[in-house]
Chains A and B, each alone.
Chain A
Amino acid sequence: MNKLVVSLSPHVHSGDSVQKNMYWVCIALVPALICSFISFGVGAIITTAISVASCVFFEWAINKFMLKNPKCTICDGSAILTGILLAFNMPSNIQPWIIIVGALFAIGVVKMTFGGLGCNLFNPALAGRAFLLISFPVQMTTWPTPGQGFGTYLDATTGATPLSVMKAAFKSGNPEMLNELPPFQDMLLGNTGGCLGEVCAAALILGFIILLVKKVVTWHIPVSILVTVAVFSGLLNLANPVYANPLAELMSGGLLLGAIFMATDYVTSPMSKNGQLIYGVAIGFLTVVIRAYGAYPEGMSFAILIMNAFVPLINNKFKPKRFGEVPAKK
């Protein structure tokens, strides 16, 4: 007779798993991937493929040879996701060896040194991007213009992006320069310059809807970031028209990509709803400040990385509302 199995309750499980969540995020990124291919040609595919392959390879190699971990962790989908997100943060004409260095930093230093899945303090893809930005500023800040045909790769012609236009306008103090911003349809459909995953706002919003429906993320972080950016940049724009208007701010640069896919990264975001709202507001605020007053045109990645460092503090201070809490006493 077979033995009875005993354990403590609960005896059922929802069927959710780490793999499911990771793969649904990858699926939510597919619209943006398709748009990047249409806008930037085969360079987009090659960049993404190299990034994913190197991230997965480095995670496997580190696990097997350095950590001597008997379990293979590349199947949980997080390395693939980091690879895709890292690629989305790079221009399509970047040389392959830079991608590989970036992947090594993102997986090796930011993720595995801290303890692997669930233990990293900073978002690996964003930290990888920041590392590459500082180490290879020229290659990381020359973006190809869109629509040059599917065969373009390293030989793409480069041009201005919406953020560089805004930065130039602010530096020169001339609001007329903002007229060079591409029209909204272009920003919505990915017809502007920029990193691979940043350009097509519509695809990113579609990805957000997929994530919400599949309950992979909740609305708190993305909505709080976007609302803060809209309100704050709107106030600035009213005060002085040299600042871009809120809609342009929202759809330009890495804001949507960061708000929907980077800031909502499980490991590096706060654990309670209140904490997540505070986190989002702070990121939005920092993004606008860095974009307006900072040396770099793009502020999103640094804003998120700064707030990642504050997450343990946020977790300590902003606990979820306890059942039956008497507000006055505690």
Chain B
Amino acid sequence: MKTFRIGGVHPAENKLSAAEPIKVAELPKVAVFPMGQHIGAPALPCVQKGDKVKVGTQIGTPMEKALSTSIFSSVSGTVLKVDTVVDASGYKKPAVYISVEGDEWEESIDRSDTLVTLKEKPELTPEAIIEKVKNAGIVGMGGACFPTHVKLMPPPQFKPEWVIINAVECEPYLTADHRLMLEKADQVLVGVELLMKAAKVNKGFIGIEENKPDAIKLMTEKCAAQHPNIEVVTLKTKYPQGGEKQLIDAVVRRQVPAPPALPVSVGAIIQNVGTAYAVYEAVMKNKPLFERIVTVTGKELKQPSNFLTRMGTPMSQLIEACGGLPDGDVKVIGGGPMMGKALVNIEVPICKGSSGVLIMSGDDVRRGEEQPCIRCAKCVSACPMGLEPYLLATCSGKKMWDKVEAEDITSCIECGSCQFTCPSNRPLLDLIRLGKTTVMTNIRARQMAAKK
């Protein structure tokens, strides 16, 4: 079975909600839309207090001359205020508050369920697809939120050969992508075809971990029947298989060089399976990105579920729908347990990258006691990028920025495998992140000084 060649760990899978069909979440009373839901410059609000909006109305425009994209309202109602909200970063960020009234959609959106295939739309050129993707505000739905239209237009010196769909979902607990494939397989596959057409490639792969046999079976059958140029690849269940570079290594056996090299330099464009679905809806149904599937789960949660949620819904509403927070010490994580962010309150709204809400409780909440490094080198074996986490962490803690830069700290993908395996419970990734941000700031400052 295919897998990536360096490192990796196997956390307990805990896919508690894998068998739960997708439920439609209730509409919130007030929807909050942070302007910064993607990598790059935050959007600029284009509505003000008192404006009436419908579902699908644009409320944020991309910032000019920057990496940015639009934000669309997922509810209909009146704009309450343009203020700040505490988002997943733990700080207050600009946001639009909308008071929800009814559920009126923009007329341009096609709400029917009929499948629209590429054959029925021969007039779609790659440029037209990319334009529609851009205007729908689509970003990577795996959590990183990189604007998709930019990824589909690589620099001219790179010629992509494949589109690889990331349906791996290697993070424990999360099952949103799994359910999406089981319930919306046809639409996902048309979305993949659209992405392949936009990127001007002839071959597509869908990487799925072998702990999702029903999804593998279903997608393989459908591809064999209707989409012969898409191949489903079964991958060994190992974290972080869902990382871009690891996925390319496993599926096509090519390793992306260290930053600033991009995956497209080895010929691959990676998109999350949720992004493929969003692309289908945007191009074929004129539906901008304003809702997504969110897994709400946790060992002590009464009813772990997968919700089709409108963005802007506060997480507290979804948690209540699953039975509420458990007693005792609790950690609420936006995303999965390996790379997700611990949230500072439960009113944080669902954003484009919110793949899951994980409630950790009991013994899982606090870290173990830290002991000195015993030089066991388990972190070195675990690191999927071939780095030496013990060295990077200790040197970052001692502020030796030049040394960590020489040890390739910028290649770190912050997957957390090192801290996961460390028998001494050392906070390796906390310190490596510190070193990585400082080194990247230094590099940028050097580049800016050189330009002068």
Contacts and interface: CB of A to CB of B under 8 A. Distances in A.
Interface residues of B, number: 71
A20 B372 CA distance: 15
Contacts of A325: 255, 257, 386
A271 B421 contact: no
A139 to B, nearest CB: 33
Contact of A7 (B261, B327, B342): B342
Contacts of B373: 118
A10 interface: yes
Interface in A1-58: 2, 4-14, 16-18, 20-21
Contact of B371 (A117, A266, A320): A117
A117 B423 CA distance: 13
B213 interface: no
Interface on chain B toward A: helix, strand, loop, or mixed SS? Answer: loop
Contact of B364 (A2, A12, A266, A321): A12
A271 B382 CA distance: 12
A320 B386 contact: yes
| Of listed B331, B371, B390, residue having the most chain A CB within 10 A | B371
A10 B423 contact: no
Contacts of B386: 320-323, 325
Interface string B289-325: 0000000000000000000000000000000000000
Contacts of A5: 329-331, 342, 365-366
A234 interface: no
A138 interface: no
Contacts of A13: 367-368, 419-420, 425
B46 interface: no
Contacts, number: 157
| Of listed A5, A118, A272, residue having the most chain B CB within 10 A | A5
Closest 9 CB pairs of A and B: A10-B416, A324-B255, A266-B376, A118-B372, A324-B257, A322-B386, A323-B385, A6-B342, A12-B337
A13 B338 CA distance: 9
A278 interface: no
29 contacts: A2-B329, A4-B332, A4-B343, A4-B344, A4-B346, A5-B329, A5-B330, A5-B365, A6-B344, A7-B331, A7-B367, A8-B429, A9-B333, A9-B338, A9-B339, A9-B341, A9-B429, A11-B331, A11-B337, A12-B11, A12-B338, A17-B425, A21-B374, A116-B372, A118-B424, A320-B380, A323-B384, A323-B385, A324-B255
Contacts of B381: 218, 273
B78 to A, nearest CB: 31
Contacts of A295: none
A330 B420 CA distance: 30
B11 A18 contact: no
Contact of B376 (A10, A21, A319): A21
Interface of A: 2, 4-14, 16-18, 20-21, 76, 116-119, 218, 266-273, 319-326
Given A17-B423, A322-B258, A323-B386, A10 B429 contact: yes
Interface in B345-371: 345-346, 358, 360, 364-368, 371
B6 interface: yes
Contacts of A273: 381
Given A6-B344, A12-B364, A323 B339 contact: no
B255 to A, nearest CB: 4
B9 interface: yes
A216 to B, nearest CB: 9
Contact of A14 (B11, B90, B245, B344): B11
A273 to B, nearest CB: 8
B257 A326 contact: yes
Contacts of B376: 21, 266
A4 to B, nearest CB: 6
B375 interface: yes
Given A269-B375, A323-B411, 20 more contacts: A4-B342, A5-B342, A10-B339, A11-B338, A11-B340, A11-B358, A12-B338, A20-B423, A21-B376, A76-B371, A118-B373, A266-B376, A319-B388, A319-B407, A320-B383, A322-B387, A323-B386, A324-B245, A324-B256, A325-B255
